[in-house]
Every structure is written in structure tokens, then in C-alpha cells.
Amino acid sequence: MLELALHILDIAENSTRAGARHVDIRLKEDPGDDLLTMEIADDGAGMDKETLAKALDPFYTTKKVRRVGLGLPMLAQAAESAGGQLMLSSEPGKGTHLKVTFGLRHLDRQPLGDAAGALVTLIAGNPDIDFTYCHEHGNQSYLLSTEEIKKEIDDVPINHVEVLKYIRGHIAEGLKEIGSEA
């Protein structure tokens, strides 16, 4: 994966497969500390200590269709290459929390990429799951909550093409307004 948005998509999809009803995605660009922090937390099934210990092993996966699980190891490598690290915590029945840091201006940090596209893909494929996306840049922030959007659109499905187009534009404009550099 060559951009952070694809890592977000991959990790959030793991959350949905783990039975999460809510996935919280947070990015924080801190130019003063030259730090980009990405956090993804869910309320899914969580992992026991044994599974958590194997989670960063590329030859371990819980998926039945392939024998390797490259998402987390690739993200950990991307973080380390950019002067950061990956921290993963989980508890059965309580969900999983991932925190990844990167040097914000580090030459080897992957670009954010198409965050709007990744989020729209998640929402389109998982209309019954609530996603929160918060992106901070310095002292500015952008927030998207599918729970709030669902309240506003009443009986129109959140994965209706016009709603998804609106969400994509809203995210792109919101990130532009806060001056996101990721």
C-alpha cells in the first residue's frame, strides 16, 4: 500500500469483519512536533493475548481466503520507515485500538492519498456501521459522523449514490478548509 488512506481502509475493514458497530478514525497533523498520528478504534470482538501477539506477523491471518496477513506488518514498516511506530491494543469483547505515528515531514512518510475515497468505500460497503472520522491539522479540525448524517437523511440509505457523492465532497472540502498537508 502506497498511501495511508489504503491502510485506513484495510484496518477499518478488519474492524467490520470483527463485528464492530462503530469505528473511530482519527488523524492528527502536528506541524510543531513534526508528527502525524493515526488512530483507529473499534468496538468489535477484540483479540486475545495470543492473537494480539501474532497480529504483526505477516504469515498469520484470521482470514480463510489467504494464508498471509500483510496489512498490519506493512503499516508497521511504513511507520518505522518514517520515524514512527505502531502500537496495538485489544481485549476480547471490548474491541481494538491501533495508534500509529509518523514523522509528518519525513521524506519516507507515505502521503495520505484519497481519504475521501477510502471513507466513502467503507460507508458504501457497511451502511449499518457508524464511522467517525476526525482530522486535526494544528488547531483546526474536521469531523464526519455517519451517525449524525443518518439522522439528517431520515429514510434515505446512507449508501445511496447521491449521499455518497455529498460525503465525498464534504470530506474533500473539510480537509481543504483545515489546510491538511497529509
Tens of pLDDT, residues 50-101? 988 888 877 656 555 544 447 899 999 999 999 999 999 999 999 999 999 9
Chain segment 1-12, per-residue pLDDT in tens:
789 999 999 999
Indicate if the pLDDT at residue 116 is higher than 80. yes
Asked if 16 and 123 touch (Cβ cutoff 8 Å), the reply is no
Residue 157 has pLDDT above 70, yes or no: yes
**Structural domains of the chain ordered from first start:** 4-177 (3.30.565.10)
Q: How far apart are CA 165 and CA 153, in angstroms?
A: 14
Give the mean pLDDT of the chain: 93
| Predicted pLDDT at 70 | 72
Phi-psi region of 51 (alpha: psi -120 to 50; beta: other; left: phi over 0): alpha
The packing angle between helices 115-125 and 161-177, to 10°, is 150
Contact 142, 178 (CB under 8 A): yes
